[in-house]
Amino acid sequence: MSYIEKYGHGGDLLTARQLFHKDTTHLLDFSANINPLGPPPRVIELLKEGMDSIVHYPDPAQRVLKQKLAEKHLVSPEQILIGNGAAECIALVILGLQPEIAGVSYPCFSEYEQLSAAYGVKIKPCYGKLANDFKPDHSELLQLIAETDIVFVGHPNNPTGVTFSRDELFEMAEQAEKTSTYLVIDEAFIDFLPIEKQITLLGELNRWKKVIIIRSMTKFYAIPGLRLGYVLAHPDLIAKMQEKQVTWSVNQMALIAGEAVLNEKEYEEATIALIDEQRSYVKHYIESNLRWRVFPGQANFLLVRTTDEITSADLQWLMGQKGILIRSCAMYPGLTNHDFRIAIRTEKENQCLVQALIEVSKEGSRL
């Protein structure tokens, strides 16, 4: 059982407020993987200044933002589609490419399965093994690519944090070309990794015609309420996706924010440093004081498994009573009712989290 995942995702503050009878301003949200620094201050200023522009339609082709992203990633604007969050990007991949069978490696982001099923695509699964920290067996993943029309992989994967090596990504891309399968690599959380760990096929898109990369701007720049993501792929694939996109699906304020955040180099560096430091702190604290298993993934969140004395639902309820939200992972195929996910936030917030975890673990063992 889960309490705050009524709609299948974390960050549902309204449901949390109704359940725990607390004002949302007094809730510490570790259930959504958003940059704890909040939006860059300059972006907030530009949004306020840009309010007058809401009387006009946004650019339906998102030309300014598309050009800036093209310069950032050294690709052409024709290789980019900008969407109303990564979720719309996933939907447009499916609608534009019309696969019949989608390969999904569990546990993973639920939208791969939900959107595929919603558009009549059959699901063929494979499962990551506990012994390998839920990373799928590479031979099974290559076989999945051979047996499907499209395969979705998270890199880093949500909720496990699993990443792939450059050699693994190359082998997957080669298999996709060989079997004429679309390989969708969801890199929504890759910006949180140290630069040297941001392994991607982005620079190889001209070589791999079947590779599709999805990125999110809302998580790293803390603007999830605006919804902004994008797809990078061969121009022919982008054109097919754009044919299915509703005009003006990306609003004016999202475009203003997207154009502004690409200038925030100091903010980006501060975020990466904070996540790297605090991730190690939280992981060590939980392992040392609670003896729970913390899986060694990457990105700005941790997947944790409790002992038999307390389930993730019990833990979520008890933490919610203290005004702290965590993400139960019981609903993820391949995980158990003892698994939960926590975002990495600021040092002070993380200290509140780990102290509360210790307190409620004692309460939970008596339930």
The more confident residue out of 27 and 28 is: 28
In the predicted model, is pLDDT for residue 15 greater than 90?
A: no
Q: For residue 61, is pLDDT > 70?
A: yes
Instruction: Name the DSSP letter for residue 156.
Output: T
Confidence label for 28 from pLDDT (cuts 50, 70 and 90)? very high
What is the DSSP secondary-structure string of 280-336?
A: HHHHHHHHHHH--EE----SSEEEEE--TTS-HHHHHHHHHHTTEE-EE-TTSTT--
Query: What is the pLDDT averaged over residues 43-63?
Result: 95
Q: How confident is the model at residue 27 (pLDDT cuts 50, 70, 90)?
A: confident
Provide the pLDDT confidence category of residue 242 given band limits of 50, 70 and 90. Answer: very high
For residue 54, the model assigns a pLDDT of 93
Model confidence at 103: pLDDT above 90? yes
pLDDT at 22: 67
Question: Which pLDDT score is estimated for 116?
Answer: 97
The pLDDT value recorded for residue 160 is 97
Q: Tell me the pTM.
A: 0.94
User: With DSSP H G I counted as helix, E B as strand and the rest as coil, what are the percentages for the chain, rounded to 5?
Assistant: 45, 15, 40
pLDDT of residue 309: 82
What pLDDT score does 24 carry?
Answer: 64
* Whether pLDDT at 308 is above 90: no
* Residue pLDDT, tens place only, 259-288: 999 999 999 999 999 999 999 999 999 999
Mean pLDDT, residues 237-258: 97
The pairing of strands 122-127 and 150-154 is unpaired
For residue 304, is it left (φ>0), alpha (ψ between -120 and 50) or beta? Answer: beta
Weakest mean pLDDT among 59-63, 118-122, 306-310, 333-337: 306-310
Rounded Cα distance between 365 and 367, Å, is 6
Q: Which domains does the chain have, with CATH numbers?
A: 13-40+266-364 (3.90.1150.10), 41-261 (3.40.640.10)
- Res 295 pLDDT > 60: yes
User: Could you report the per-residue pLDDT of 176-211, keeping only the tens digit for each?
Assistant: 999 999 999 999 999 999 999 999 999 999 999 999
Quick check: 227 pLDDT over 80? yes
Least confident stretch, 8-22, 76-90, 141-155: 8-22
Return the pLDDT at 9: 60
Question: CB atoms < 10 A from the CB of 231, how many?
Answer: 25
User: How far is CA 182 from each of CA 6, 90, 105, 172, 266, rounded to the nearest angstrom?
Assistant: 32, 12, 15, 10, 36
Between 362 and 312, the higher pLDDT residue = 312
pLDDT above 90 for 257: yes
Residue corresponding to tokens 């359940």: 19
Q: Average pLDDT over the chain, rounded to whole?
A: 93
365 — pLDDT class (breaks 50, 70, 90): low
Residue 366, pLDDT score: 55
Q: How confident is the model at residue 361 (pLDDT cuts 50, 70, 90)?
A: confident
